[in-house]
Structure 1
């Protein structure tokens, strides 16, 4: 009940924040090399991210990918290089994650299914614990796999 109340309060606070914005699109100018997009400043907060933006960050090795599903699902397959951090087991992994991960790191959480709540809950937890750039990919595992993107 306490965790649920905390999530509700965090979502309410986020909903009234005036500074929440979507992910900016990289812009190219004539003076830049055509192979390199300008790196936009990432917004602060947590929000849903588009699949194409997720893939761009993956290709640029510019984000940590976090699978919010249970261990058995993670072991059956996941986004290449993803870490498995289960919300319910946060007492086991959160202290180490906080101690070893820069708060400015871009983090993308995902789970599976249109109505899966695990990725947004994990994104909220990470944002609440000081990470400024946290996103969740809705129905991430299915969409990633069906797009033929790298998996393990």
Structure 2
């Protein structure tokens, strides 16, 4: 069993990215909700266990359903399919 203490994860203030190692820590300690920003087809072909599908092109339509799962979440981590994928990056910057 994994026991988590206060987070030691340091976010990059410029872009909010975390390392794979830190994302794995959040996953193993069940302290984060993972949102998969890829298409439904890509999500169905494989995704992080318990991740929610949140394709960027459909996000406005699916947000209300996704929001129900985000209540009380300590951390939300968005991801796509690799370092060169920008689907999971913040659009507010």
- Give the TM-score taking structure 1 as reference length: 0.49
Structure 1, gaps ≥5 residues long: 1-34, 129-152
Query: Is 1:39 aligned to residue 6 of structure 2?
Result: yes
What is the aligned residue count?
89
Question: For residues 72 and 118 of structure 1, what CA distance do their matches in structure 2 show?
Answer: 15
The structure with more radius of gyration: 1
From the superposition, tell whether residues 62 and 81 of structure 1 become closer, same or farther in structure 2 (CA, over 3 Å): same
2:18 equivalent among 49, 62, 70 = 49
In structure 1, the partner of 2:47 is 78
Alignment of 1:1-152 (within 5 A): 36=3, 38-40=5-7, 47-98=16-67, 101-102=70-71, 105-120=74-89, 124=90
Q: Does the residue aligned with 1:65 lie in a helix, a strand or coil?
A: strand
Q: Does the residue aligned with 1:95 lie in a helix, a strand or coil?
A: helix
Q: Does the residue aligned with 1:48 lie in a helix, a strand or coil?
A: coil
Following superposition, the deviation at residue 105 of structure 1 comes to 3.0
Give 4+ residue runs of structure 1 displaced > 4 Å after superposition.
41-46
Asked which structure has the greater RCO (Cα within 8 Å, sep 6+), the reply is: 2
Q: Which has the higher helix share?
A: 1
From the superposition, tell whether residues 50 and 42 of structure 1 become closer, same or farther in structure 2 (CA, over 3 Å): closer
Structure 2, gaps ≥5 residues long: none
CA-atom RMSD, angstroms?
A: 2.8
